[in-house]
Amino acid sequence: MARKPVKPRRATSAAKKSTKTATKTARPAPKAPARKAPAPAPKRAVHQPPPPPSVKPTVILVGADKGGVGKSTVARFILDFLGQNRIRARAFDTEAPRGTLYHFHPDETTIVDLRSTADQMRIFDTLMSSPERVSVIDVRAGGLTPVLATLEEIGFFDAVKAGEFGFILLHVLGPSISSLDEIDVVAPYVNDADYFIVKNHVNDSTFFEWDPQTHSKYFENVSAAGEITVPQLDAQAYEKVEIASTPFSTFVADRTAEGRPAHHSFVLKGKVYSWLNRVAEAFEDVGILDLLDVGKKGR
């Protein structure tokens, strides 16, 4: 006798729940969303000083044919002035064997003899290659006219006229007529120079001859770019700077030549500081920085 097929049994509700639970368990868990990396903290701005001005190779000649007019004082100030304006400079002292400028600025200064061809080459053959874009030449007393004649002989003025170099002549004069007579002698050499008359009050003398009639007599044959008046520095302050044998700015900073504390008088430091500011204003007013800064001058 044939057997009837057996119908499959329906799963009970408990079995269904068990199957669903197992199915759910077997499914992979959903992935957690990827966490974004934290944004980097913004960098703090670091103050960067402006780059030094772009300067054409320039010669600053400080001189006079008459002695005792304080030309080395002017040259010493120029080196301080350039340093304060972040303009690299080198200096040459023609007062051999032991020059005044070298005494106060030995790190920047070389003693030379401009009558020597080797020393002429040492200065002018390196104008383009030297990292110091400004060369300050302190001419010994009585040597201005011979130096200008030498510059003409080697073709320096032609190079200035062609725009290869800048040339600033600071002609330091005293209050006497003999000092003013130098203007006629210098006139033929300064056609292409930035020529400045410097009235240096090294003592209590006044420039009594500089009345309009005298001025027109001596300046009719020369074109000066400007006149600079250097006020007198307090005698005691000047003496203390001489004894310290440091640049004016180092004296004001109360440092020795070796960089140690100097303990100078507060009053005398103040007098030198005020004098430096007055002289700096006089040089700025005639546009010395504009002549050196290519960005401003557009050279």
Write down the pLDDT at residue 192: 83
User: Domains in the chain, ordered, with CATH?
Assistant: 58-231+279-294 (3.40.50.300)
Q: Are strands 166-173 and 194-200 parallel, antiparallel or unpaired?
A: parallel
Distances (CA, A) of 2 to 7, 9, 147: 16, 21, 142
Supply the pLDDT for residue 53: 55
**pLDDT score at 180:** 74
In the DSSP assignment, the letter for residue 299 is: -
Question: Residue 30's pLDDT is what?
Answer: 54
pLDDT for res 294: 46
H helical segments located in the chain? 13-26, 71-84, 100-104, 117-124, 144-153, 156-161, 177-180, 182-186, 212-219, 235-244, 248-252, 266-285, 288-292, 294-297
Tell me: cis bond preceding 57? Omega within 30 of 0 counts: no
Helix (H) or strand (E) holding 43: none
Q: What is residue 223's predicted lDDT score, i.e. its pLDDT?
A: 72
How far is residue 232 from each of residues 78, 169, 215, measured CA to CA in Å? 16, 21, 22
Question: pLDDT (tens digit, 0 to 9) for every residue of the chain, 299 residues total?
Answer: 445 544 445 544 444 445 444 444 445 555 555 555 555 555 554 555 555 556 789 999 999 888 888 899 999 999 999 999 999 999 999 987 778 999 999 999 999 999 999 999 999 999 999 999 999 999 998 889 999 999 999 999 999 999 999 999 999 987 776 677 788 888 888 888 899 989 888 766 565 555 666 666 666 667 777 889 999 999 999 999 999 999 999 999 999 999 999 999 999 999 999 999 999 999 999 999 999 864 444 33
Q: What is the pLDDT of residue 226?
A: 84
pLDDT of residue 54: 66
Taking each helix axis from N to C end, the angle separating 235-244 and 266-285, rounded to the nearest 10 degrees, works out to 100
pTM summary value: 0.78
Which residues does residue 91 pair with via DSSP β-bridges, in sequence order? 109, 136
If you search the block for the tokens 């600071």, which residue do you land on? 170
Reference 90, options 143, 130, 147; nearest CA is 130
Would you state the pLDDT for residue 6? 46
Q: Which amino acid would we find at residue 245?
A: S
For residue 52, the model assigns a pLDDT of 53
> Per DSSP, what are the bridge partners of residue 135?
59, 90
At residue 230, the 3 state secondary structure works out as strand
